[in-house]
Amino acid sequence: MPRVSDITLLQKRKQPTLFVRTTTQVEQLPALIGKSYAAMAAYLSELSETLSDIPYVAYHNMDMQNLDVEIGFPVARVLPAKGNIQAGLLPAEKVVFCMYRGAYGEMTPVYAEMARWTEDNALEPTGIVYEYYYNGPDFPESELLTKIVMPVK
């Protein structure tokens, strides 16, 4: 059974990032995330820089055959872009978030619960959703830990 922490509203600060933005089919996403994370890690090493927070994937839509995704690394300061690795800044904004433990394929009820909470609290989602991955494929699915963040107006 997936486990979800309390859903909470908070004000997030601006965050410099490096990211790769592309479209893909959901079946190709795990390989794309791995390849993008490896490329960004190599670039950070080249710059003698490190991550400043947990890696994320931003979903700009939920079309499983044509996902518009931003695969990113939070960094301490704005860094130069290189090739398909772009430099960006996640805005300061209000967000609804929760921590989820469980398989990625079982997240649909969590998203529904967050949507209900958002509506019950008279907030409007912006349409982008961020997932921050605290661990990965070497962990059992039941122990995968993900922070889900929904910016709101």
Q: Are strands 3-4 and 56-59 parallel, antiparallel or unpaired?
A: unpaired
Task: Please name the residue that has the structure tokens 């044509």.
Answer: 66
Q: What is the pLDDT along the chain (153 residues), one digit of tens a residue?
A: 456 668 999 999 999 999 999 999 999 998 999 999 999 999 999 999 999 999 999 999 988 889 999 999 999 999 999 999 999 999 999 999 999 999 988 999 999 999 999 999 999 999 999 999 998 878 999 999 999 999 999
The pLDDT of residue 62: 85
Report, at the CATH architecture level, how domain 3-151 is classified: Alpha-Beta Barrel (3.20)
Contact 21, 69 (CB under 8 A): yes
The pLDDT of residue 3: 61
Q: Give this prediction's pTM.
A: 0.90
Q: What is the dihedral of CA 91, 66, 150, 79, to 10 degrees?
A: -30
Contact 20, 88 (CB under 8 A): no
The pLDDT of residue 63: 85
The pLDDT of residue 1: 44
The pLDDT of residue 33: 94
Burial of 6 by CB count in 10 Å (0-12 exposed, 13-18 middle, 19+ buried)? Answer: exposed
The residue ranges of every structural domain in the chain are 3-151
